[in-house]
Structure 1
Amino acid sequence: MPTPSKRWLLGGLAVALIATLSCASMPSSSILADSPNFRDGQFRNAVAETERSVAEVIGIFWHVLTADEIMPVPDQPIPVQPLSSEWFKQLPQDEDVVVRLGHSSILMSLGGDIWLFDPMFSRRASPVQWAGPERFHAPPLSINELPNIKGVIISHNHYDHLDQATIEQLVSKTEHFYVPLGLGQYLTDWGVATGQYSEHDWWQQHQQGDTTVVATPTQHFSGRGLHDRDQTLWASWVLIHGDKRYYFSGDSGYFDGFKTIGERFGPFDLTMLENGAYNPRWRYVHMFPEESVQAHLDLRGQRMLPIHNSTFDLAMHAWFEPLEQVSQAAHQHNVDLITPRIGEPVFLNQPQRFAAWWRPMMPGAEQVADAR
């Protein structure tokens, strides 16, 4: 029998069938053909992955369904620091602030302007809300409590990063959406005006007031159904605001592109790097914790914020393992790792210390505390 935490995968097979019927219109090939990353009808990574046989794909599903797991989901509530609309009125205008909203969803205040990365407020990362991976915790605030948004930045079209219900609620609040090539059709279908978004190939940039937004490479893939694999591009993002530089990875396997991005745009004051949902069988598209730390070093980052963890069960490791292992790897490499609770503001111009909030929730934590 499949483990309880992976029952969503069985439902996911049905969800995938639904997704083929419910996904947005396919992007026009005319807007993709000029991209050097679009070949033979699909977007491609710079380094090609070895193609898997049908047997290998079946083996991955079987491994997910049958693998033994230790605490894939928390057995107590994740600590979340709530935010409210009043909090935004007190934000400093002369300091940059970053807040993890859960998973890869990031809120940044840059000189008082609010930016969102991969906002995902729905209960499930799925085309339907009755099946699919379910959140461990609620977001620290509702969309209604958000102020006007300067920019929303999307890394790719997977359901845990591009959420239709969230986008539809953000349309009236957002000045501009930034998406990789091909994602514009989703936004159009969901009520975003054509002039309200821009589609970007890797290395293309856009000036928004005093902030520069740059789409940069990443090593991943795209798709929301059974028949749209790699029909839209995936990207990481660089934000340059004044003399500060920030990097958001989206999803990626480890590749030499991190070093190239670091050479072209680094050093970065903060890297927000994927750290979670990894497995040896899909190492090409998701990093292990030690690889996330190496990516930070390649990018010439000063502080590192691990993302893509602590909200959804998307792999076979324990829910707390990404944060614990990345903390150990960061310590070994003398990396300044910041691990705020969900909803806890990080004031980037101030020294702050953050507790390893997940450790009291790890198995055996009570016995360790009692022994002390």
Structure 2
Amino acid sequence: MLRRTLSALGDLPVAFGAKATGARADRMRRSPQYAGGVFHNASPTRATPSPSAAGGILRELLFGDDRARRKPAGAIPMVSEPGSETSEGLFVTWYGHASTLVEIDGARVLCDPVWSERVSPAAFAGPRRLHAPPVALDTVGRVDAIVISHDHYDHLDLATVRALLTAHDAPFLVPLGAGAHLERWHVPASRIVELDWHDEAELGGLRFVATPAQHFSGRGIANDSTLWTSWVIAGPRHKVFYSGDTGYFDGFAKIGEEHGPFDATLIQVGAYAPQWPDIHMTPEEGVAAHIDVRGGLLVPVHWATFSLAMHPWGEPADRVWREAKANDLALAVPKPGQRIDVANPPAVDGWWQTLG
């Protein structure tokens, strides 16, 4: 036990990542989103609670009377079979939280992969998984690109990056500044593609566009030192939109006008709270964002795996299902590990409702 703790402490400063310097920092300073040493949203947000408010939120998360409601009442059902690598269509496999594999026109894109037990700089503290990863990372199969929305620990994970670095040669597509973290973690420069909002990259027959989001960043003391982004993933025949973490804003309609329609959207619907209304969407706002970007099949993400807010565990799925029905939208709510054929999605069966 002591040996594991000392090893984890040794990794602690490495997990914080690194601050951009040199040419990377120069490029950040030229970004329209960058001013005064930090990145900014297009509209003002209440991204960071005051220290006293943050302390109250943390106490509520850790010791609140309703904390039992923020966990499932039983084991979360999972699908643990590795997916096929031969499809030429469009398939989505949600592994829990935001970690998702997009199989699009023969290419395979891994979005915000996190396989660690905790989302934290320390392996012995921080929010812990409510379910195991449905498959081992080394059984995911071929990966052609790895997309990162921002540098928070539940989206950019040191241990997962290390595993992907040795098992694959796929490039990492990241927002401005986040490449400094990867560089410290020994990801070769040739595998780091850093983009500002509206920048594009062509890789493996796919077009990736870093599109705006409304959020914040930071792995250590300093916040907003790296950019946050949503993503357009476009193949020859299909397109997918991934929201990343974001509040609801008018930028979604602009994304829809410029890049839509989309065959599928991966939309953040969990970890919302009145204390941070501008940086995480409620399920109803997630449905509105899906409509704004002109989405086809809605696949809700960013729920079920980690308790990061005060709402009940299954509430995001209940609310997004209800709102999608009200708007007559196509919706899939997969179990962790379940592979969804976007052209022929399964009916929503409410599997989470027996778990609270």
Query: 2:151·2:178 contact (CA, 8 Å) conserved in 1?
Result: yes
Q: Which amino acid in the other structure matches residue 168 of structure 1?
A: R
Deviations 1:208-258 (A, max 9, x none): 1321000000000001122x2000000000011113111001100111111
Query: 2:332·2:348 contact (CA, 8 Å) conserved in 1?
Result: yes
State the partner residue of 1:32: 28
State which of 53, 78, 81 in structure 1 corresponds to 2:79.
Answer: 81
What is the number of residues matched between the two proteins? 342
Query: 2:206·2:234 contact (CA, 8 Å) conserved in 1?
Result: yes
The CA distance in 2 between the partners of 1:63 and 1:344, in whole Å, is 33
The CA distance in 1 between the partners of 2:342 and 2:169, in whole Å, is 24
Q: 1:62 to 1:123 in 2, by over 3 A?
A: closer
Map 1:1-372 onto structure 2 (within 5 A). 22-28=15-21, 29-50=25-46, 53-65=50-62, 67-69=64-66, 71-84=69-82, 87-89=83-85, 91-92=86-87, 94-172=88-166, 173-226=168-221, 228-362=222-356
- Structure 1 residue 356 displacement after superposition: 1.3
* Counterpart secondary structure, 1:100: strand
Query: 1:156·1:222 contact (CA, 8 Å) conserved in 2?
Result: yes
Higher mean alpha-carbon deviation, 245-254 vs 57-66, is at 57-66
The CA distance in 1 between the partners of 2:289 and 2:326, in whole Å, is 14
Q: 1:71 to 1:58 in 2, by over 3 A?
A: closer
State the partner residue of 1:366: none
The CA distance in 2 between the partners of 1:79 and 1:63, in whole Å, is 28
Higher mean alpha-carbon deviation, 35-44 vs 353-362, is at 353-362
CA RMSD between the two structures: 2.0
Q: 1:53 to 1:134 in 2, by over 3 A?
A: closer
The CA distance in 2 between the partners of 1:19 and 1:333, in whole Å, is 46
* Counterpart secondary structure, 2:142: coil
Query: 1:222·1:234 contact (CA, 8 Å) conserved in 2?
Result: yes
Q: Which amino acid in the other structure matches residue 286 of structure 2?
A: S
* Counterpart secondary structure, 1:79: coil
Q: Which runs of 5+ in 2 are unaligned?
A: 1-7
Q: Which amino acid in the other structure matches residue 218 of structure 1?
A: A
- Structure 1 residue 20 displacement after superposition: 6.5
Q: Which amino acid in the other structure matches residue 187 of structure 2?
A: V
- Structure 1 residue 61 displacement after superposition: 3.9
Percent identity between matched residues is 38
Query: 1:270·1:301 contact (CA, 8 Å) conserved in 2?
Result: yes
Query: 2:105·2:237 contact (CA, 8 Å) conserved in 1?
Result: no
Q: 1:280 to 1:166 in 2, by over 3 A?
A: same
The CA distance in 2 between the partners of 1:120 and 1:135, in whole Å, is 10
The CA distance in 1 between the partners of 2:239 and 2:14, in whole Å, is 41
* Counterpart secondary structure, 2:84: helix
The CA distance in 1 between the partners of 2:50 and 2:346, in whole Å, is 49
Q: What TM-score comes out, normalization by structure 2 length? A: 0.91
Q: What TM-score comes out, normalization by structure 1 length? A: 0.87
